[in-house]
Structure 1
């Protein structure tokens, strides 16, 4: 009754798809090709070497033995001599060839003998192969094949097969042992259904009649096959379903299977019962699955089968990497744009502040100039007043033009400052000396406009205005390594530099320097005593940029 239920379950399973995948039912065959002589060894399942070192089969080492492990009951060994491959219809399996031309004399079938010993019994007689039973091999046209061995082996039975030439020259030796198979569940095949339109009932009944003969034949064929740990990572379509069906276990009274499925949405590690098959519906794209299967009454041994579902294109690593790269690039672009706009706003704000200081400087400058003109007129020095007024107009025009620019050529700045000093000389008649370092390229070097003007104005007003012709102002523009140094000296009575911040012109200059120092370095140093004052305006590393 149990077997009947088991068969019905498997039959329902086999209708899963139009073409279920059932393992190929081909015996394992090994061919020893000795020139034109073919010796064929076959079993339901075999594995070479059987834990022994691999050895050649041919006359170069005739004393060494090649070992094979088989699990099938029937062992077949035959021999045939083929003149031409054109007579071969089909021949597949593992081939071992001796291609040394000098060995061809060893292998004519008429000169070969075989001796077979079973389970260590005393050695039997050597038999001529051409005197052994014959048969017609369907894989070969019009050639007679010879049965060397057609025997059934029990578990742990062994065979020792020796080949030699009829003159006693040894050729090769084979050792064959049958071993018991493990009780691991054996995967007979799988059924994969990519249709999402039909329900499970239609899925289970679609190919019942087609798959039943294949299953019935396959179940018996795989009885002798050992179970395997399936390390192949099979792939199935997203949103499809797949069923795995297993061989009825040998020598097990209760052939209920237990399985656990991990991967995708399956997280439960507990074992579940089934009768010969495992159905996995709704495979998730991008998921990796592991199926462990065991027998209920033999839980110590199980088989493992790996499979996966390829991800959709938008789930692939390259797509995620591309999206990540795009997000990073867009984020970086937005950050750089934000930083650029922020810097631009700050720069515009800084320029507006500079222009605001210019706006404060110009009225201060105009007020002082008008005071000088008024003083000349009060002293009845009308010619000087007119000359001062003309020069002042020119200077004011140049000053207004300069305020629209952040920097102007040093040559233009010196001209404006010299014009201003000449105007003040008209009023106060002091001595003035200008020196420009010849190494400075004044037409190329750019400096902030009128930054030194309030400093010169203070030197005139608070330093030499009361001294007349005895007053002296020395204005030097020097090159100090990569710095430009403005030095303004007067021989006035001096003042306390710590209180200089109260003077409007110096305060405006310091405010402008603070704004310029956000990009380039300018320092102001005031040295004063009773013999005079020196103001140093240093443009740090200015020549590196010009």
Structure 2
């Protein structure tokens, strides 16, 4: 993380430095061009072009030290900062006016000097306005770059916090499932069901490998998500044997849709814990998914008994699984998702999820 921060800081510094020189060169070239176009309105000799170029070059060189001075006084009180800017701009303009007068009267007028000092004062005042304008532009652009820099840092911090939140929500689920599986394996060993326990350990290792190999920030296809879900259900089948019936119906469009990794596992876990485990006969889990317009619809239903009269209240008083699933979806999609719970017929609950339809070709 520190390496990334240093890289970003270096890139930002290089970007600002490059921008200054581009604007500096372009600005003074534009100044020379405007003056040249203005000279075309009068009958000026060709040598006047040299005078204009020397004047622009002098302004270019004299404003470079101002940049480094302004960087040093950046933190001054606004009043002191203004006084320093005005005074240094006047000094810089005076030096520039001397150089400009020398080139004009010596090169263009062949050494002629006017008797009145008004010409010198007028030129000095004009140069002062130009340098003051340069200083104003410098501070304006500098403040704009600072605002952009702060905005980029805020976006970067928000993005990192967002990623950390998603990882926390995803990985908070795994220990809950892991403890249940280890307890089941321990029970199997205690009752001398070693073959079944070994089978369960193998499937658990495959499921955990999938969980660790897939970043919770990234999305995977629904088909891959269901394949991982079947690894989890294989573990549960060891516990329930023939008392667990799994039905999966995915449309071709739904199979290639992108979803957050391990999105369905906590929902299945809740269904098994609160529904299938209480069914005296065969517990049925039915998973359906299809595309409707620009949405992916996922429905997970069980046939558990004792379904509440108002299932939507479970979302407000749910445990870790449902709450984390909703928080993950909110972090990833904002308001572009919907998670609801309804009563199944003739018994049980259905969890319905609506997500934006995304594929690898159209993420």
Q: TM-score range by the shorter chain?
A: 0.5 to 0.7
The match for 1:420 among 225, 232, 235 is 232
In the TM superposition, residue 405 of structure 1 has moved relative to its aligned partner by: 4.2
Q: Runs in 1 of length 4+ with deviation above 6 angstroms?
A: none
The match for 1:358 among 150, 159, 170 is 170
Aligned partner of 1:241 in structure 2 is 117
The alignment's TM-score, normalised by the length of structure 1, stands at 0.40
Deviations 1:297-337 (Å, cap 9, x if unpaired)? xxxxxxxxxxx657443513xx6666555544433332222
Alignment of 1:187-336 (within 5 A): 241=117, 285=121, 311-316=125-130, 324-336=136-148
Alignment of 1:377-416 (within 5 A): 377=189, 381-403=193-215, 405-416=217-228
Alignment of 1:424-443 (within 5 A): 424-428=236-240, 429=242, 430-440=244-254, 442=256
In the TM superposition, residue 367 of structure 1 has moved relative to its aligned partner by: 1.2
Distance, in Å, in 2 between the alignment partners of 1:353 and 1:239 is: 77
Distance, in Å, in 2 between the alignment partners of 1:284 and 1:459 is: 90
Q: Relative to 1, partners in 2 of residues 1:408 and 1:516: Cα closer, same or farther, differing over 3 Å?
A: same
The match for 2:152 among 337, 340, 363 is 340
Q: Relative to 1, partners in 2 of residues 1:382 and 1:468: Cα closer, same or farther, differing over 3 Å?
A: farther
Distance, in Å, in 1 between the alignment partners of 2:326 and 2:114 is: 73
Contact 1:497–1:527, Cα closer than 8 Å, also in 2: yes
Deviations 1:45-101 (Å, cap 9, x if unpaired)? xxxxxxxxxxxxxxxxxxxxxxxxxxxxxxxxxxxxxxxxxxxxxxxxxxxxxxxxx
Distance, in Å, in 1 between the alignment partners of 2:221 and 2:175 is: 24
Question: 1:451 is paired with a residue of what secondary structure?
Answer: coil
In the TM superposition, residue 369 of structure 1 has moved relative to its aligned partner by: 1.7
Deviations 1:377-424 (Å, cap 9, x if unpaired)? 456543332211110111011112224643334343221112112221
Deviations 1:192-245 (Å, cap 9, x if unpaired)? xxxxxxxxxxxxxxxxxxxxxxxxxxxxxxxxxxxxxxxxxxxxx999635xxx
Deviations 1:250-282 (Å, cap 9, x if unpaired)? xxxxxxxxxxxxxxxxxxxxxxxxxxxxxxxxx
Contact 1:487–1:536, Cα closer than 8 Å, also in 2: yes
Distance, in Å, in 2 between the alignment partners of 1:524 and 1:284 is: 78
More helix by share: 2
Distance, in Å, in 1 between the alignment partners of 2:182 and 2:250 is: 30
Aligned partner of 1:525 in structure 2 is 340
Query: Which runs of 5 or more structure 2 residues have no equivalent in the other structure?
Result: 1-112
More strand by share: 1
Distance, in Å, in 2 between the alignment partners of 1:343 and 1:467 is: 49
Deviations 1:426-466 (Å, cap 9, x if unpaired)? 22231111122112462xx4321112211111111111123
In the TM superposition, residue 474 of structure 1 has moved relative to its aligned partner by: 0.6
Aligned partner of 2:56 in structure 1 is none
Aligned length: 243
Distance, in Å, in 2 between the alignment partners of 1:241 and 1:410 is: 84
The alignment's TM-score, normalised by the length of structure 2, stands at 0.58
Distance, in Å, in 1 between the alignment partners of 2:167 and 2:350 is: 28
Q: Relative to 1, partners in 2 of residues 1:284 and 1:485: Cα closer, same or farther, differing over 3 Å?
A: farther
Q: Relative to 1, partners in 2 of residues 1:440 and 1:327: Cα closer, same or farther, differing over 3 Å?
A: farther
Question: 1:465 is paired with a residue of what secondary structure?
Answer: helix
Contact 1:516–1:522, Cα closer than 8 Å, also in 2: no
